[in-house]
């Protein structure tokens, strides 16, 4: 896991412009910056626990289980961490992915958050916008400009300087549980626009503008038409024919790995599937890292597509083995597997689950092909 963490923060060492020529890189279980300590430049970290009591003159960038900032960071904080507590001061932006973020200090510019819950304590300040994707959010402090994003349950007790634009419920349901609630102490300096099933719960707070509600949209998960389905099958089968000409040996090995390892592929597949876009997002934040991030995104999307193809080909092999027709042509096996897999993916309500499982198994097969020499009886040249 530590190797994966290092791979995630590697783009920042290479691509992030430095505020000064100096920087500090730390990797250990526990990192502590004392009250009298000054980090001259950026602080890059990989650790279980990071506590900053002193001052960092540049950015703080890294991955860890817990991040506590009680001192001052002159630049931005860009991090992936299970828990983040900000009781000090960040002069720049806060851009984090975390299970829970608690802000009781001051953020000079914007705050961008992806995770489960965000709490802005009373007396805490965000100098510009708050943008989030979360399950729960609680605003007790001051957001000087706009508050927008997606948040399942949202409570506002503090002050929003301008507008509130939130998606509480995106999809139409029979019963809604998420709420947007404004307490008596809340102040909104602009308009509230929200999409949700439940009406806003508003007490005697102060709102300068209007309150506009948008109903959740109907689910877009529908069974595809026969023409689209046939076209999809035909295009995938054509892709398989071409891939078999170019990479016949590699495809055979990938199918073998998928059959032998099956569910074991899902572990590394999940790591690659979910951590890669996080690394891409963090690299995109740095302007100089944008070209590499876009290239990585393209390769990641191609891998997602090919992973489902490998799953489909393996499914076809297993299907004919079950029928004891192993001698059938590989083209028939491939076409059958593609049809079966795409039918599973198109099922209402649970099709997404089959699609996810197929993706994890396929990506894991690529991982084991590169890593495990057991499957490398023949040299591999992509």
Strand partners, 187: 159, 206
Distance between CA atoms of 87 and 280, rounded to whole angstroms? 28
Owner of token pair 């489960």: 116
Tell me what pLDDT residue 132 has.
93
Tell me what pLDDT residue 94 has.
95
Q: pLDDT tens, 299-327?
A: 888 888 888 999 999 998 888 888 888 88
Please list, in sequence order, all residues whose beta carbon lies within 8 angstroms of the beta carbon of residue 313, skipping any fewer than 6 positions away: 240, 251, 254, 255, 333, 334, 337, 338
Strand, helix or coil for residue 173: coil
Q: pLDDT tens, 173-224?
A: 778 889 999 999 999 999 999 999 899 988 777 888 899 999 887 765 555 5
Q: pLDDT tens, 35-76?
A: 999 998 899 887 889 999 999 999 998 878 899 999 999 999
- Provide the percentage of residues in the chain whose pLDDT is more than 90: 36
Distance between CA atoms of 192 and 209, rounded to whole angstroms? 7
Tell me what pLDDT residue 28 has.
73
pTM of the model: 0.59
Across 157-161, 363-367, 377-381, the highest mean pLDDT is recorded for 157-161
Tell me what pLDDT residue 7 has.
42
pLDDT band at 16 (very low <50, low <70, confident <90, very high): very low
Long-range CB pairs of 16-19 (<8 Å, 24+ gap) are: 16/42, 16/59, 16/61, 16/286, 16/288, 16/289, 17/286, 17/287, 17/288, 18/42, 18/58, 19/57, 19/58, 19/59, 19/74, 19/75
Is the pLDDT assigned to residue 172 strictly greater than 70? yes
Vertex 81: Cα angle to 80 and 84 (nearest 5): 120
Please list, in sequence order, all residues whose beta carbon lies within 8 angstroms of the beta carbon of residue 140, skipping any fewer than 6 positions away: 119, 120, 121, 122, 124, 157, 158
Is the pLDDT assigned to residue 25 strictly greater than 80? no
């Amino acid at each position: 896991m530590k190797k994966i963490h290092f791979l995630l923060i590697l783009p920042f060492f290479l691509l992030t412009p430095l505020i000064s020529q100096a920087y500090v890189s730390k990797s250990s279980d526990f990192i502590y910056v004392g009250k009298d300590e000054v980090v001259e430049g950026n602080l890059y970290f990989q650790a279980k626990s990071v506590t900053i009591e002193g001052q960092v003159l540049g950015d703080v960038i890294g991955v860890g289980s817990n991040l506590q900032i009680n001192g001052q960071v002159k630049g931005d904080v860009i991090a992936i961490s299970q828990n983040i507590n900000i009781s000090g001061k960040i002069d720049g932006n806060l851009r984090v992915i975390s299970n829970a973020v608690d802000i009781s200090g001051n953020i000079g510019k914007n705050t961008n958050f992806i995770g489960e819950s965000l709490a802005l304590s009373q007396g805490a300040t965000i100098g510009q916008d708050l943008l989030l994707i979360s399950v729960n959010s609680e605003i007790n402090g001051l957001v000087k400009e706009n508050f927008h994003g997606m948040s399942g349950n949202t409570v506002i007790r503090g002050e929003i300087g301008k507008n509130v634009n939130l998606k509480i419920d995106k999809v139409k349901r029979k019963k809604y549980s998420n709420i947007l609630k404004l307490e008596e102490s809340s102040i909104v300096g602009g308009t509230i626009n929200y999409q949700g099933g439940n009406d806003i719960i508003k007490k005697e707070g102060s709102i300068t503008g209007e309150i506009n509600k948008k109903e959740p949209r109907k689910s877009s998960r529908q069974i595809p038409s026969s023409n689209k389905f046939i076209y999809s099958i035909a295009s995938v089968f054509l892709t398989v024919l071409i891939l078999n000409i170019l990479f016949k040996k590699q495809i055979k090995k990938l199918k073998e790995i998928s059959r032998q390892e099956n569910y074991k592929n899902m572990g590394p597949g999940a790591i690659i599937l979910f951590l890669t876009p996080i690394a891409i997002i963090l690299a995109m934040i740095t302007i100089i890292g944008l070209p590499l991030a876009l290239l990585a995104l393209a390769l990641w999307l191609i891998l997602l597509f090919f992973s489902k193809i490998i799953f489909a080909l393996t499914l076809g092999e297993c299907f004919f083995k079950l029928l004891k027709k192993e001698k059938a042509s590989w083209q028939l096996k491939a076409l059958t597997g593609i049809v079966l897999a795409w039918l599973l993916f198109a099922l209402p309500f649970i099709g997404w689950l089959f699609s996810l499982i197929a993706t994890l198994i396929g990506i894991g097969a690529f991982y084991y092909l590169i890593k495990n020499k057991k499957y490398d009886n023949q040299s591999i040249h992509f």
